[in-house]
């Protein structure tokens, strides 16, 4: 069954022969803007020909999100947050602590001269608009002394070393350079770069100079990621604790439907058709008793968001068929 495209509530149906037993059900929908609706029904031998809500006896595994994260390696871990202020413009830094990234990518340096380089890194089409990014890494200093940290960006950016803000380049603007100075001792220092882009051109370049560079400005490297250091600390702590025997794995089947929500899956662009979600991570996963969302409020009640715009959603469950035969399944949706 399908009801593609942008439209008010519209029904699409299909028929299939279902044998007796359990059958997995997967639903994918998206909402671009305005009103929203999704209702899943079926009819056949089990319903005596009446159209009723399609029930789910459950789904395999846990209904949870997997946080987008980088593997431990040399470089920065870049975490990308699409539409961090919902449908509103991005004119300032968001509170990253309250957000979950959609994508995580490893980069050796922060050196993006135009938005095409960022889009290529993300392996996605379109523009790089209404997005916030954080890059975290470790700056290793061989020779202590005064260092100058510079960030050139379009739009806003700032740089933190050991939690202290050094370079600050806020606001909406074209490629603009701002620098700050800091005394750094020999050894490792945590580095964090925050960046946001509202619309139009985009870019960010972070450089530094000091005793280690012979006074010449060059791209600021990251010897390793902060998550590598965190993993090392966890391993050391684990050595001091006796390992507990693992319980045998058993398949878990939960009741209801598992819904996974992808906010702004195309960055700042509108959604005209079902996006490819295979390379994205959902921000919310929650169990719902049935698929009957009659308006925006019915969707936002499960997410805590103010709006249900520019969102994609997957729904997984299974139906138990008692009487084999031909069944009609219908999806009524706004949008596709």
Q: Which of 159, 173, 196, 170 is nearest to 83 (CA)?
A: 196
Residue 184: predicted pLDDT: 97
Residue 308: predicted pLDDT: 81
At residue 49, does pLDDT exceed 60?
Answer: yes
What average pLDDT does this structure show over 132-137?
A: 95
Q: Which residues lie closer than 8 Å to 276 by C-beta, 6 or more apart? A: none
What average pLDDT does this structure show over 307-313?
A: 85
Worst-scoring range by mean pLDDT, 88-102, 140-154, 223-237?
A: 223-237
Q: Which of 174, 152, 171, 158 is nearest to 89 (CA)?
A: 171
At residue 326, does pLDDT exceed 90?
Answer: yes
pLDDT band at 233 (very low <50, low <70, confident <90, very high): low
Distance of CA 322 to the CA centre of its chain: 39
Q: Which residues lie closer than 8 Å to 171 by C-beta, 6 or more apart? A: 91, 92, 155, 156
Token digits of residue 128:
């790089």
What average pLDDT does this structure show over 319-331?
A: 95
Residue 283: predicted pLDDT: 80
Q: By percentage, how much of the chain surpasses pLDDT 90?
A: 58
Residue 249: predicted pLDDT: 42
Per domain, the residue ranges of the chain are 10-61+251-334, 76-239
Cα–Cα dist 236/251, whole Å: 32
What average pLDDT does this structure show over 289-307?
A: 84
CATH domain 76-239 topology: Jelly Rolls (2.60.120)
Residue 95 vs residue 71, higher pLDDT: 95
What are the tens digits of pLDDT across the range 77-98? 999 988 788 778 899 999 998 8
């Amino acid at each position: 069954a399908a009801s593609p495209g942008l439209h008010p509530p519209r029904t699409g149906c299909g028929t299939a022969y279902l044998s007796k037993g359990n059958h997995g059900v997967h639903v994918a929908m998206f909402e671009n803007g305005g009103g929203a609706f999704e209702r899943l029904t079926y009819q056949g031998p089990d319903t005596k020909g009446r159209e009723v809500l399609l029930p789910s006896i459950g789904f395999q595994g846990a209904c949870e999100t997997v946080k987008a994260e980088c593997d431990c390696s040399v470089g920065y871990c870049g975490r990308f947050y699409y539409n961090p202020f919902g449908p509103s413009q991005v004119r300032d830094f968001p509170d990253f602590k309250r957000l979950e990234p959609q994508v995580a990518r490893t980069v050796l340096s922060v050196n993006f001269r135009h938005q095409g380089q960022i889009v290529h890194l993300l392996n996605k089409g379109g523009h790089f608009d209404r997005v916030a990014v954080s890059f975290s890494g470790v700056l290793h200093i061989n020779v202590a002394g005064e260092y100058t940290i510079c960030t050139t960006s379009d739009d806003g950016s700032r740089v933190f070393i050991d939690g202290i803000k050094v370079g600050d380049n806020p606001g909406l603007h074209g490629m603009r350079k701002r620098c700050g100075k800091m005394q750094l001792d020999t050894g490792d220092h945590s580095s964090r770069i925050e960046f946001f882009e509202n619309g139009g051109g985009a870019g960010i370049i972070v450089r530094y100079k000091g005793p280690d560079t012979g006074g010449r400005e060059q791209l600021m490297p990251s010897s390793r990621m902060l998550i590598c250091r965190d993993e090392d600390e966890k391993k050391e702590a684990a050595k001091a604790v006796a390992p507990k025997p693992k319980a045998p794995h058993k398949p878990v089947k939960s009741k209801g439907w598992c819904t996974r929500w992808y906010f702004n899956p195309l960055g700042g662009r509108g959604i005209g058709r079902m996006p490819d979600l295979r390379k994205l991570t959902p921000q919310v996963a929650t169990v719902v008793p049935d698929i009957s969302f009659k308006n925006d409020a019915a969707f936002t009640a499960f997410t805590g968001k103010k709006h249900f715009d520019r969102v994609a959603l997957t729904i997984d469950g299974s139906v138990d068929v008692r009487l084999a035969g031909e069944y009609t399944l219908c999806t009524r949706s706004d949008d596709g």
